[in-house]
């Protein structure tokens, strides 16, 4: 098993959580993780280097692809790390004969859905940022390499990965670390996966995502955001909020650089 983006926030946690499950885990990133342990295998690779990525994939049967930028960036940053990087990863995987890929997509691939809607995985994408567009691109690659080349791909539209929900928006999209492991194991191990889009959220009463497909595939999340709700709501600042951010699931990613006529646009659900 290979995990890209292993030095990032999610990667750092996952290395520890996945090592007991996959003892031969290979960790990769642009930079060496500060907390790298002696019993870990680490390969330093720049995802924009196609030949290096192809080499990285040799002898690997499953990949958790977290590598790239995990927030909004300039077009060139997103292009290099998330567009070219994701292409190199899928192409390297195909050349090396990798069987499964779990692609870390994001709620920001569909961030422009209003909070009062509950969306299934097969909605039309509504990315809320260049970052969100790159996640739609990655999901597209996933479908292409699944249906054309037979790699079993799962795109996980991850909400907010954290030990606890950090604000009111995250009560709806929180994903606890152990629940992410459960979803990854479905993507890597469940027989018969061709191409799946699942939401990376825990068992949240306030969820904006219909994750029944994940449940049908065996997902049984254990964390719930609701017991945190009263404290999170009490701690939420009351003022200074953007109406655009508050209206849409993607929050501040939607409001950033916003130049639309919100009053008109919001009438269209």
**Interacting residues with ligand 15L (CB under 6 A):** 70-71, 106-108, 160
The catalytically annotated residue of 22, 113, 131, 145 is 131
The H or E element spanning position 197 is: strand 195-200
Strand pairing class (152-158; 195-200):
parallel
Query: What are the Cα distances from residue 141, in Å, to 145, 195, 241?
Result: 6, 11, 36
Contact of 34 with 51, CB cutoff 8 Å: no
Reply yes or no on whether 131 is catalytic: yes
Q: Which is nearer to ligand 15L, 96 or 201 (CB)?
A: 201
Rounded distance, CA 136 to CA 139, Å?
5
Q: Shortest approach of ligand 15L to residue 231 CB, angstroms?
A: 18
Q: Shortest approach of ligand 15L to residue 70 CB, angstroms?
A: 4
Residue 264 backbone phi and psi in degrees, to 5: -75, -45
Rounded distance, CA 225 to CA 170, Å?
8
Torsion from C-alpha of 153, 157, 159, 163, nearest 10 degrees: 0
Residue whose tokens read 């719930």: 224
Q: Shortest approach of ligand 15L to residue 43 CB, angstroms?
A: 23
Closest CA to 128 of 244, 208, 211, 236: 244
Q: Which is nearer to ligand 15L, 21 or 71 (CB)?
A: 71
Q: Shortest approach of ligand 15L to residue 253 CB, angstroms?
A: 7
The catalytic site residues sit at 131
């Amino acid at each position: 098993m290979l995990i890209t983006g292993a030095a990032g926030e999610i990667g750092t946690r996952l290395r520890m959580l996945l090592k007991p499950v996959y003892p031969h885990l290979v960790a990769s990133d642009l930079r060496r993780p500060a907390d790298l342990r002696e019993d870990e295998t680490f390969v330093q690779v720049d995802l924009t280097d196609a030949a290096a990525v192809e080499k990285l994939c040799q002898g690997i049967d499953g990949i958790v692809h977290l590598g790239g930028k995990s927030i909004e960036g300039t077009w060139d940053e997103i292009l290099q790390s998330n567009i070219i990087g994701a292409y190199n990863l899928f192409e390297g995987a195909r050349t090396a004969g990798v069987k499964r890929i779990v692609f870390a997509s994001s709620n920001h691939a569909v961030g422009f859905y209003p909070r009062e809607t509950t969306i299934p995985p097969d909605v039309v994408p509504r990315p809320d940022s260049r970052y969100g567009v790159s996640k739609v691109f990655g999901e597209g690659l996933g479908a292409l390499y699944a249906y054309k080349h037979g790699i079993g791909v799962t795109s996980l539209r991850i909400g907010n990965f954290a030990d606890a929900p950090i604000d009111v928006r995250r009560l709806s999209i929180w994903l606890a670390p152990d629940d992410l492991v459960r979803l990854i194991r479905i993507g890597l191990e469940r027989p018969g996966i061709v191409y799946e889009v699942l939401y990376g959220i825990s068992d949240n009463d306030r969820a904006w995502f219909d994750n029944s497909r994940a449940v049908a595939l065996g997902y049984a999340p254990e964390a719930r955001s609701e017991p945190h709700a009263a404290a999170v709501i009490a701690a939420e600042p009351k003022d200074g909020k953007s109406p655009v951010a508050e209206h849409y699931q993607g929050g501040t990613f939607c409001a950033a650089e916003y130049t639309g006529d919100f009053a008109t646009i919001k009438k269209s659900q």
